[in-house]
Amino acid sequence: MTDDLINVADLNQFSYCPRRYWYLHFYDTQGRNYERIEGKTKHENQSTRGDWVNELYLESEELGLKGKIDILDLESEQVVPVERKRAESGDYYKSDELQLAGYCMLLEDHLDQPVRQGAIYLYETDQRMHIPITQSHRSQTTQRSANPAQRGSIACLKRQLFWNLKRPKERAGRVKHESH
């Protein structure tokens, strides 16, 4: 069943740019660039603290999602998933919030308790921003992942990608016929 679940990180990529997602997953255009190597090294050498759980993998058939949370912060009364990003600019993308929402939803499913916020940690600038997870975040995540029984999960995502990429070409090839 794991293959039918959508990876939360893929929701981020797809929301950021469907075409980019297509190329990354079906043509492996990213290869081994220095940012990916640096990111992998950062994950391997990440700091450890007594109140952190590093790289927690969760999946939910009900949500149609799977994913690996970078850090689970157990410091306060709340459980807070933390997503690590490079972001030299000191900013993150809106699609990163969608990824964080997916992790919060996976945690809620796993813990059977609400997870109302997550955090994005920008390691280039050493900033940690807490993001409240809104109903809008949840709706967007649910809409994009949908129950596998309803939408065919990853197969549907691939069809949606193909359709989104194909439509502009079809429109460009259409000619308006004027009736006389």
- DSSP assignment, residue 179? P
More confident residue, 13 or 105: 105
Report, as an integer, the average pLDDT of 137-141.
Answer: 91
Domain ranges of the chain: 2-165
Determine the pLDDT at residue 160.
Answer: 61
CATH number assigned to the domain covering 2-165: 3.90.320.10
High-pLDDT (> 90) share of the chain, %: 34
**Closest by alpha carbon to 6, among 128, 151, 113?**
151
Query: Encoding tokens for residue 35?
Result: 């940012």
pLDDT above 50 for 150: no
Query: Encoding tokens for residue 171?
Result: 């429109």
Query: Encoding tokens for residue 45?
Result: 């050498």
Query: Encoding tokens for residue 79?
Result: 């459980």
pLDDT, one tens digit per residue, over 38-56 is 555 555 555 555 577 888 9
Distances (CA, A) of 21 to 1, 10, 44: 22, 7, 25
In angstroms, the CA 180 to CA 158 distance is 42
Report the alpha-carbon angle 30-31-36, nearest 5: 75
pLDDT above 80 for 165: no
pTM reported for the whole predicted model: 0.71
Place of tokens 């955090």: 119
In this structure, the strands spanning 65-73 and 6-7 are parallel
pLDDT above 90 for 57: yes
